[in-house]
Structure 1
Amino acid sequence: MLVSVVIACYKHEAYIEECLETVYRQTFPDVELIVVDDHSPDKSFEIAQRLFKKKSFCKRFVSCTLLRNPLNLGAHYTWNRALSLAKGDMIFFLNSDDAFSKDRIQIFASQHGDEKMFFGFSAVEPIDERGTPITTHQFPTSLRYAIDRARVAGSPLSWTFLDSQIAASTGNFVVSRELLRQIGWLADLKYCHDWEFALRAVTVVEPKYVEADRYMYRLHSTNSFRNLSNVAESETRACMSSYCINAIARRPINRTCLSPLNFGDAFYKLIRLHPNFNYWVKQLYAPYQPDHRTVEWNDRTMPLNWR
C-alpha cells in the first residue's frame, strides 16, 4: 500500500527540517512525500530544498515533490495543491512546524489501511519550540477529556466534533483517498478550514481515534490559532452551515452522525447535549422541515415530542 504525506509549509524555517526528518524516519516503507510552500518570506523553502537535494533523503521515499506557490495564497489553497498531487491509498496531513512519531504511519496503516472510507486522528503530545514535550499544558488534556466524555456517554466521535475540532490540527488528520474524493478539498477559511473539513468527513464516515500520542503539536508564538482567533465566530457559523447542509438538509451517508434524518424526533433531544451546535441549528434551520421526521429505526431513535 502506498501512503502519501502532504505538508503545507509557511514561514517555519526553524521547524521544517525537523518536520521532514520525522517523515524520513517512519518505519513504514512505501511513502510518497509532497511539500508545498506558500511563498514563505523566510528560508523555509530553501531549507526544504536543500534537504530534497540530498540523494540519501529522496531515496528513502517512493517519490518526492517540493513546490512553491508563486505568491502567498493561503493555507487552504496550499493544502489543496498538495492533496491534488497525492497518489496514496491513505493520506497523512502534517503541519510544517509539527512532527510525527516514527511509528505513526505504521500504526494507522496496519489498523486501518484496508478501509476504503477512513477518517482518523491520534492523541496529541504538545512540544515547545525546542521540541521538548510540554507535560503541564492543558491543551491535550481538554481534548482527551472531550473524547473520554463521549465514550462514557456512549456518544459517537462524530457528535463530539460538533463541539470543537478535537483532532487539534489539520496536521493530525489521516484520510483515505476515497474519502477525499467523496468530500472534496478544504474550504476557503482562514482559521477553521480543518474543522469544516472534519465536519464534512464525519457526515460520510465515523472517525477513528488512536489513543497513543503519535502527533507532536508544537506550541509557539506564531501558532495560527493565536493570530486568527478574531475570525472564529464567523467561520464557526460557516462550519455549522456546512454540517447542516451535509447532515440535515439531506440524508447523510454516515447513519451514525447527528441528524434528524438519522434519529427522527430523538434528534431534538440529542442536540441539547451539544450547546454550541444546538444554538447554531436553531439559527440556521428553524423551524425544522417536516420531512426530516421520516427516519429509519435504529438504536438511538426514540419517541419524543419536544418543542
Structure 2
Amino acid sequence: MLASVVIACYKHEAYIEECLETIYRQTFSDVELIIVDDHSPDRSFEIAQKILKQRSFAKRFVSCSLLKNPLNLGAPCTWNRALSLAKGEMIFFLNSDDKFSKDRIRIFANQYEREKLFFGFSAVEPIDESGKPVTTHQFPTRLRYAIDRSRITGSPLSWIFLDSQVAASSGNFVMSRDLLRKIGLLSDLKYCHDWEFALRAVTVVEPKYVDSDRYMYRLHSTNSFRSLSNVAERETKACMSSYCVNAIAQRPVNRVCLSPINFGDAFYNLIKLHPNFCYWVKQLYAPYHPDHRTVDWNEWTMPLMWR
C-alpha cells in the first residue's frame, strides 16, 4: 500500500525541517511526500527545497514533490492542490509546524488499509515552540473528554463532530483516497475548512479513532485559530448548513450519523444532547419541527438503544 503525506506549508521556517524529519523517520516504508508552500514570505520553501535535494532524504520516499503557489492562496487552496497530486490509497494530512509520531503511518495502515471508505484521527499531544510536550494546556483534555463521553453513552463517534472539530487540526486527518473522491476537496473557509470537511466525511463513513498520541500539535503565537477567531461564528453557520444538506435534507450514506432519516422521531430527542447543533438546526433547517416529516417513504430505523 502507498501512503501519501500531504503538507500545506506557510511561514513555518522555524519548524518545517523538524516536520519533514518526522516523515523521514516513519517506520512504514512506502510513502509519497507532497509539499505545497503557500507563497511563504519567509524561507520555508527554500529550507524544504534544500532538504528534498539531499540524496539520502529523497531516496527514502517512493516520490517527493515540492511546489510553491504563485501567490498566497490560503490554506484550503493549498491543501486542495496537494491533495489533487496524491496517488496513495491512504492519505495523511500534516501541518508544516506539527509532527507525526514515528509509527503513525504504520499504525493506521495496519488497522485500516483494507477499508475502502475510511476517515480517522488520533489523540493529540500539544508541544511548544521548541518541540517539548505541553502538559498544562487544556485542549487535549477537552478532546479526550468528548471521545470518552461518546464511549460512555454508546453514541456513534460521528456525533461528537457536531459539537466541535475534535481532531483538533486538519493535520490530524487520515483518509482513504476513495473517500476523498466521494466527498470532494476542502471548501473555501478561512477558519473552519477542516471542520466542514470532517462533517462531510462523517455523513459518509463513521470515523475511527486511535487512542494514543500520534499527532504532535504545536502551540505558538501564529496558530491560525488565534488570528482567525473573528470569523468563527459565520463559518460555524456554514459548517452546520453543510451538515444539514448532507445528513438531514437527504439520505446520508452513513446510516448511523445523526439524521432524522436514520433515527426517525427519536432524532428530535437525540439532538438535545448536542446543544450547539440543536441551535443551528433550528436556525438553518426549516423543517426541523417533529411534526414535519423529512422523507416520504416509511423507512425509519428503530430508535437508538442506549447502552
TM-score computed with the length of structure 2 as normaliser: 0.96
Q: Is the 8 A contact 2:264 2:301 kept in 1?
A: no
Partner residue, 1:243 = 243
Shift of 1:298: 3.7
**Aligned mates of 2:296, 2:172 — CA distance in 1:** 36
Unaligned runs of 5+ in 1: 303-307
Q: Is the 8 A contact 2:264 2:303 kept in 1?
A: no
Shift of 1:135: 1.3
CA distances 1:229-282 after superposition (whole Å, capped 9, x unpaired): 000000000000000000011000000000001011000000000000000000
- Map of 1:1-307 to 2, 5 A cutoff? 1-288=1-288, 289-292=292-295, 294=297, 296-301=299-304
**Aligned mates of 1:295, 1:150 — CA distance in 2:** 29
Number of residue pairs matched?
Answer: 302
CA distances 1:187-235 after superposition (whole Å, capped 9, x unpaired): 0000000000000000000000000100000000000000000000000
Q: Is the 8 A contact 1:264 1:294 kept in 2?
A: no
Shift of 1:72: 0.1
% same residue: 79
Q: Is the 8 A contact 1:261 1:294 kept in 2?
A: no
**Aligned mates of 1:301, 1:9 — CA distance in 2:** 43
Cα distance 1:107–1:192, how it changes in 2: closer, same or farther (>3 A)? same
Farther-moved stretch of structure 1 (149-158 vs 194-203): 149-158
Shift of 1:150: 1.0
Q: Is the 8 A contact 1:264 1:295 kept in 2?
A: no
Shift of 1:286: 2.4
**Aligned mates of 2:196, 2:296 — CA distance in 1:** 26
- What amino acid sits opposite 1:193 in the alignment? H
Shift of 1:292: 3.4
**Aligned mates of 1:63, 1:128 — CA distance in 2:** 31
Shift of 1:136: 1.6
Partner-residue secondary structure (3-state), 1:46: helix
Unaligned runs of 5+ in 2: none
Partner-residue secondary structure (3-state), 2:286: coil
Q: Is the 8 A contact 1:124 1:215 kept in 2?
A: yes
Shift of 1:295: 5.5
Partner-residue secondary structure (3-state), 1:292: coil
**Aligned mates of 1:206, 1:18 — CA distance in 2:** 32
Partner-residue secondary structure (3-state), 1:161: helix
Shift of 1:40: 0.1
CA distances 1:68-119 after superposition (whole Å, capped 9, x unpaired): 0000000000000000000000000000000000000000000001100000
- What amino acid sits opposite 1:102 in the alignment? K
Q: Is the 8 A contact 2:287 2:294 kept in 1?
A: no
Partner-residue secondary structure (3-state), 1:125: strand
**What's the RMSD between the two structures over aligned residues?**
1.1
**Aligned mates of 1:272, 1:83 — CA distance in 2:** 36
**Aligned mates of 1:163, 1:156 — CA distance in 2:** 13
Q: Is the 8 A contact 2:35 2:66 kept in 1?
A: yes
**Aligned mates of 1:301, 1:27 — CA distance in 2:** 41
TM-score computed with the length of structure 1 as normaliser: 0.96
